[in-house]
Structure 1
């Protein structure tokens, strides 16, 4: 009878640990492949804020709340800022993309296009 109580304690402890793991596991990120750095998130947030501001400026201009000169100046300023951010994003994408992988993908696309052209030519 003493053996049954020790076995039940071990089983209960194991069950409790499994339940604890299942409860706590969603709070941790297990996928390390898809992680955005805080800089990337800041750039995306800034870009979104600038684009929202551009929309608001256009809306205010259409509602005749700001003059045409002010609208053009503000729009130009914000468009320049958005362009700078887009260049930063492009540089990040260019450096993060594996060149060999892109070459392989382009090669596969060309092969598929050739196969499609052959099949289309045979169907005529």
Structure 2
């Protein structure tokens, strides 16, 4: 009878350890992925916030709520931040390896489609 209880305890302990491993494993293996995803999401959300702030700033200037000097200074500041974020995004895109032959083929197909669309649109008028 004692052998069964010892086997049962070992089996239960192993089962508990496996469950803990399955529950805690994602917290350790996905950290690098989550930090990378959050970084990209932060820059995109920052850019969106800055662009909406620029729109609000322009609206407030047109409503004469802020002075021309303040408008120019704030606009320059926000635009420079947006430009830096866009440059970072462009560098990330350039750093990714892209098949240039495939991109050239896609661009030529787009151009052909645009030309045929223009010809069809011009022929109907």
**2-side partners of 1:65 and 1:99: how far apart?**
48
> TM-score, structure 1 length as denominator?
0.58
Task: Report the counterpart of residue 122 of structure 2 in structure 1.
Answer: none
Task: Report the counterpart of residue 92 of structure 2 in structure 1.
Answer: 92
Describe the shift of the 1:35–1:77 C-alpha distance in structure 2 as closer, same or farther (beyond 3 A).
closer
Q: Which runs of 5 or more residues in structure 1 are unaligned?
A: 112-124
> TM-score, structure 2 length as denominator?
0.57
What is the CA-CA distance between 1:107 and the residue it aligns to?
Answer: 5.3
Q: Which runs of 5 or more residues in structure 2 are unaligned?
A: 110-125
State the superposition RMSD in angstroms: 3.8
Describe the shift of the 1:59–1:28 C-alpha distance in structure 2 as closer, same or farther (beyond 3 A).
farther
Question: Alignment partner of 2:64: what SS?
Answer: coil
What is the CA-CA distance between 1:9 and the residue it aligns to?
Answer: 1.1
Instruction: Choose 47-56 or 17-26, whichever is displaced more.
Output: 47-56
**1-side partners of 2:39 and 2:31: how far apart?**
19
Describe the shift of the 1:30–1:55 C-alpha distance in structure 2 as closer, same or farther (beyond 3 A).
same
**2-side partners of 1:30 and 1:59: how far apart?**
43
**2-side partners of 1:74 and 1:31: how far apart?**
37
Runs of 4+ deviating beyond 4 Å: 31-35, 37-46, 104-111
For this pair of structures, how many residues does the alignment match? 109
The structure with more helix, counted as a fraction of residues: 2
